[in-house]
Amino acid sequence: MSSTGATIDFRSVRKTYGKFVALESFSMHVKRGEFMTLLGASGSGKTTALNALAGFTEIDSGEILIDGVPITRLPTEKRDIGMVFQSYSLFPHRNVIRNISFPLEMRGVPRAEARRRSEKALQMVRLDALANRMPHELSGGQKQRVAFARAVVFEPRVLLMDEPLGALDLKLRETLQLEIKDYQRQIGCTVIYVTHDQGEALTLSDRLAVMDKGQVLQIGPPEELYDKPQSRFVAEFVGANNILKVEGAEPGSVMLEGLGRVSGHVAHLIAASFASIRPELIQIRREASGAHRATLAEAVFFGNSVRYVLRAADGKEISAIEPRRPGQDVLPLGTPISFDLNVADLVALKG
């Protein structure tokens, strides 16, 4: 199985349900063979965007193109898009192999060839032994593997996955994440993956788009979204973060919630309303030698690291993650400590 992925373009797509706006000036370009993730809270319009692309929802305005060709007038079955749903959606009256061969049957592929190709797809997801099982005889993870094989067996240029792992437990989710990524690399199709799980999005994606209220807030590779969030929403949604209000600024220094006056390389913060800093970028000092004073309000032991919540002089709580060496004690609550951070690590955020 292999396919040359297509490019996908959403151009200012708008979709309303009555007065409710589900998608608003939604624009996005997905490259050939790219793994793009739509990340957003429930109700942010992710499914609506996929449905618009798959042809299950008519859009009010804008245009969607696959390989540069407008598709908004094409019926679903002509769009050549594979889709995997959270509910698996295996046909309960067909066994595994006949589920997988369904798209080939629809395309009039001769029976023997359809059989051969379906078996190959089943091999890829390592379920060859279950070809004759009925869907209700499979576990959740097996069902989703079959659904995946069925969605790619006809070598679509585009594969859409709508929270495919949402119904599975954590352990299985992690295994399947790796598998999905691996299969996608083998096949080469363009993927749009939907999830509300930021960890999953960071693990899987070549690029990800953070959505809120039907709009794309920021789009970029995982590292970029993690390191350089542009807005408070993205900073809070992707990974753990400390959001500090900018309380005042003058040339050369800014006043920050939790930190007080900070000077040095602060030019980028002067026009910002908030600044963020990742917990792992805060260094805890056991003595009073750090630049900022605080007391320990909370400590959570993770084995390889400890997450501390520090209460700063102004009462602001700041979380910090400290890597831990064997034998190192977790600091008791209430300990007065101090901490340092690199001013250049503070990220400027819009409201």
Ligand X SMILES: Nc1ncnc2c1ncn2[C@@H]1O[C@H](COP(=O)(O)OP(=O)(O)O)[C@@H](O)[C@H]1O
Closer CB to ligand X, 20 or 289, in the complex: 20
Closer CB to another protein, 108 or 327, in the complex: 108
* Residues binding ligand X: number (CB under 6 A): 11
Q: Is the distance from CB of 37 to CB of 189 less than 8 angstroms?
A: no
CA distance to 287, 310, 338, 342, per residue, from 291 (Å): 11, 14, 7, 11
Binding residues for Mg ion, per CB under 5 A? 47
Q: Is 18 in the site for another protein (CB under 8 A)?
A: no
Shortest distance, position 136 Cβ to another protein, whole Å: 4
Shortest distance, position 93 Cβ to ligand X, whole Å: 27
Interface positions, 39-58, toward ligand X (CB under 6 A):
40, 42-48
DSSP 8-state class, residue 331: P
Q: What's the CA gap between 23 and 14, in Å, rounded?
A: 5
Q: Identify the residue among 4, 17, 60, 240 touching ligand X (CB under 6 A).
A: 17
Six token digits for residue 26: 């939604």
Q: Which residues contact 26 (CB under 8 A, 6 or more apart)?
A: 10, 12, 13, 14, 15, 45, 49, 62, 214, 215, 216
Give the count of beta carbons closer than 10 Å to the beta carbon of residue 31. 14
Q: Is 300 in the site for another protein (CB under 8 A)?
A: no
Burial of 185 (C-beta count, 10 Å sphere; 0-12/13-18/19+): exposed
Residue 136 binds which entry of another protein, Mg ion, ligand X, none, CB below 5-8 Å type-dependent: another protein
Per-residue mark of binding to another protein, 48-87 (x: CB under 8 A): ------xxx------------------xxx-x-xxx-x-x
Six token digits for residue 159: 């594969």
Which residues in this chain contact ligand X in the complex, by CB under 6 A? Answer: 17, 20, 22, 40, 42-48
Which residues in this chain contact another protein in the complex, by CB under 8 A? Answer: 54-56, 75-77, 79, 81-83, 85, 87, 89, 91-93, 102-103, 106-107, 134, 136-137, 150-151, 154, 160
